[in-house]
Structure 1
Amino acid sequence: MKYFVTLANASTNLNNDKDSPYSLIIMLFLFGIIFYLIIFRPQQKKSKEHERLMDSIIPGDEILTKGGLIGKVDRTCNNSDYLIVKLSDSNKIFLHKNFITSVLPKGTMDSI
């Protein structure tokens, strides 16, 4: 049993002698790069894509909102991020562009 205790002590002493003061800095730097590539970069791409979608909306486009409403853009408000969306012939809503999930193909409302 005494043999195993001395081997355990010897192995811990070997690891302490080889530690570098820069190893922590290098590991933090590597984790930072991995964190950026996995989390921040894809989120930035998704945000830019949604911004392009909101800028490309014109009257007549059929859209899907985050709430599940499907409607046709009736008109856009000047110098504003708001739209007037026609859900049916008698229903219109005032909607912020951030609530638009996607632009649907033409004729989607007619086929439903």
Structure 2
Amino acid sequence: MFISNAYAQTAAPQGGGMEFLVMIGIFGLIFYFLIYRPQAKRVKEHKELLNAISKNDEVLTQGGLVGRVVKVSDEKDFVLVALNDEVEVTVQKSSVTAVLPKGTMKSL
């Protein structure tokens, strides 16, 4: 009496699989151009930087150390960095973030 009967509506037509595939393709392109491609470019540039490190280059490490490369060990992926005339540290090549211009250590 106070409650009306509830009747099911007829089913609305659902979208086909083609719209779903187009949407997935668009998201794939967005992922590629905004996330994967820039990161791959940065990794490639960093590898080229590490391969170009040679003796007497002035480098900046991830820890913030600035020093001159004394020795490069190719087979072990380590470099010996002189922070000043008395202090030398061994760091992994991958921790080098930048090769600085010559004379940077003198200006600091």
TM-score using structure 2 length:
0.85
2:26 counterpart (27, 30, 41):
30
Partner of 2:4: none
Partner AA of 1:109 in structure 2: M
Give the secondary structure class of the aligned counterpart of 1:45.
Answer: helix
Q: C-alpha distance in 1, partners of 2:38/2:74? A: 31
2:41 counterpart (38, 45, 56):
45
Say yes or no: does 1:63 pair with 2:59: yes
C-alpha distance after superposition, 1:73-110 (max 9, x if no partner): 00111412100000011100011011111000001111
C-alpha distance after superposition, 1:36-89 (max 9, x if no partner): 110000000000000000000000000001111000000111412100000011
Aligned-pair distance for 1:18? 7.1
The 3 A distance-change label for structure 1 pair 78 and 26 is closer
Unmatched 5+ stretches in structure 1: 1-8
Partner of 2:79: 83
Give the secondary structure class of the aligned counterpart of 1:19.
Answer: coil
Task: Give the superposed CA RMSD.
Answer: 1.5
Q: C-alpha distance in 1, partners of 2:74/2:62? A: 23
Greater helix fraction, Structure 1 or Structure 2: 1
Partner of 2:6: none
Aligned-pair distance for 1:22? 1.0
Partner AA of 1:36 in structure 2: Y
Q: Tell me the percent identity.
A: 39
Length, aligned pairs only: 99
TM-score using structure 1 length:
0.82
Give the secondary structure class of the aligned counterpart of 1:106.
Answer: coil
Aligned-pair distance for 1:29? 1.2
